Amino acid sequence: MTENGYRSPDDYIIIKALEKGVTIIGLTRGKDTKFHHSEKLDTGEVMIAQFTEHTSAIKIRGKARIYSKHGSLDSGE
């Protein structure tokens, strides 16, 4: 994290869709949490996402494998 509390630009996750139609939703930070971006992935597609001063959380719907510096896990099971 940086001095203002935000994650460094090097802090990212990799999401690999294990089925068609995996939805990735970015959520804002601040006083009110809101959806600010969404993407759909099909089987085998990969997205690299970062936490930024605008993105505090990422929600994943569907079966996907998520990789981060902390390890990997599967969603949607």
User: Per-residue pLDDT tens for 32-42?
Assistant: 777 788 999 99
**Do the strands 64-68 and 71-75 form a parallel or antiparallel pair, or are they unpaired?**
antiparallel
- Tell me the CATH architecture of domain 12-68: Sandwich (2.60)
Question: Is the model's pLDDT at 10 over the cut of 70?
Answer: no
Residue 52's pLDDT band (boundaries 50, 70, 90)?
confident
Domain boundaries, the chain: 12-68
Residue 56 is inside which H or E element, if any? strand 55-61
Average pLDDT, the chain: 85
**Structure tokens of 30?**
């601040």
The confidence score (pLDDT) of residue 20 equals 98
